[in-house]
Amino acid sequence: MSNEEHYYRAAQYQLLADYFKYLDPEKHIHFYKMHYIHLHKWLHNEPNLKAEKRTTESYAKIRFIHASPEAPSLDVYIDNEVVSRDLRYKNSSVYVDTKQLDIQISAYSSGSTESPLITGVIQVKPDISYTLAIAGSVDNLQLIMIEDDPSVPQSEAKMRFWHLSPSAPAVDIAVKKGDVVFSDISFTELSEYLGLTPMTVDLEVRIAGTKEVVLPLNRVSLKPDLAYTIIAIGSNGIETIFLVP
């Protein structure tokens, strides 16, 4: 397959993944994985100077997620260069390469370059992948960054939980009517990865330390060779989105 075809396949699978994101989580995960495979092949085979530099220079990778329900769609800039346009609530961008270690981040309402809604400096390390959330209320936005680790033992899966719902209390993630998997996770906090055998499982979000269920997560499908991040978002009640990897 030509490198150009990898590029177009990656774009097509991204569109399909976005389409099925809230209609069919399993199809979303399948198409996102296909998008990632073709994007990876395109990036590593791209026959230009930038690709040649990747063989001798180390880059960090960063993607963005819009996790503020009150904020408008966003244009995100790194050091005054736009890297994600029209990023909408609940959506995430693709990974962007950067060789800078101290990065200026600015987010504006889509189509505007005046008065950023939030700006800040983050620090990254070469050869590490990151997810940067724009979260909180529109009057108190925060940049919250975590490290990603897509590596998974062959034929296994892993999962973690990230609390980005500013109005929600600390929560536990548990098997439905069963044991707690992640305990006492407060706003901005991230659990460790939990290695799992691939399965489909019913989970639930509970008020920390109680049996009170605030959100059921039915039929969560964990496929082999994938790393999942379950993210709690929302301002009037919790909802969740899934990131892979």
Residues 133 and 186 grouped into a single domain: no
Where does the pLDDT of residue 10 fall: very low under 50, low under 70, confident under 90, or very high at 90 and above?
confident
CB-based contact 185:197 (threshold 8 Å): no
Residues 85 and 163 grouped into a single domain: no
Residues 74 and 120 grouped into a single domain: yes
| pLDDT at residue 215, rounded to an integer | 96
Name, in order, each residue with C-beta under 8 angstroms of 52's C-beta and a sequence gap of 6 or more.
Answer: none
| pLDDT at residue 11, rounded to an integer | 79
CB-based contact 245:157 (threshold 8 Å): no
Where does the pLDDT of residue 206 fall: very low under 50, low under 70, confident under 90, or very high at 90 and above?
very high
| pLDDT at residue 15, rounded to an integer | 81
Instruction: For residues 143 and 134, give the distance between their C-alpha atoms in angstroms, rounded to a whole number.
Output: 5
Residue range of the domain that includes 165: 157-243
Residues 167 and 183 grouped into a single domain: yes
| pLDDT at residue 51, rounded to an integer | 45
For the entire predicted model, the pTM comes to 0.77
The strand pair at 199-207 and 81-87 is best described as: unpaired
Q: How large is the average pLDDT for residues 86-101?
A: 94
Which bin fits 138, alpha (ψ -120 to 50), beta or left (φ > 0)? alpha
Residues 25 and 106 grouped into a single domain: no
Residues 68 and 142 grouped into a single domain: yes
Question: What is the tens place of the pLDDT at every residue in 132-181?
Answer: 999 999 889 999 999 999 999 899 999 999 999 999 999 999 999 999 99
Tokens of 120: 């800040």
User: Which one has a higher pLDDT value, 68 or 10?
Assistant: 68
Instruction: Report how many domains make up the chain.
Output: 3
Residues 196 and 180 grouped into a single domain: yes
User: Which one has a higher pLDDT value, 41 or 189?
Assistant: 189
E-assigned strand segments in 79-212:
81-87, 96-98, 102-109, 118-123, 129-135, 142-148, 157-163, 171-175, 180-185, 194-196, 199-207
Taking 70 as the threshold, does the pLDDT of residue 238 lie above it?
A: yes
Cβ count within 10 A of residue 28: 20
Kindly report the average pLDDT of the chain as a whole number: 89
Last residue of one domain, picked from the residues 79, 113, 148: 148
User: Which one has a higher pLDDT value, 28 or 100?
Assistant: 100
| pLDDT at residue 146, rounded to an integer | 98
| pLDDT at residue 168, rounded to an integer | 94
Residues 43 and 72 grouped into a single domain: no
Angle at CA of residue 106, ends 104 and 112, nearest 5°: 145
Residues 69 and 32 grouped into a single domain: no
Residues 235 and 181 grouped into a single domain: yes
Taking 90 as the threshold, does the pLDDT of residue 58 lie above it?
A: no
Tokens of 82: 């736009």
Task: Report the interhelical angle of 25-45 vs 3-19 (nearest 10°).
Answer: 160
CATH code, 219:
2.60.40
Residues 62 and 144 grouped into a single domain: yes
In the chain the first and final C-alpha atoms are separated, in Å, by: 24
Residues 144 and 172 grouped into a single domain: no
Taking 80 as the threshold, does the pLDDT of residue 22 lie above it?
A: no
Taking 80 as the threshold, does the pLDDT of residue 6 lie above it?
A: no
| pLDDT at residue 242, rounded to an integer | 94
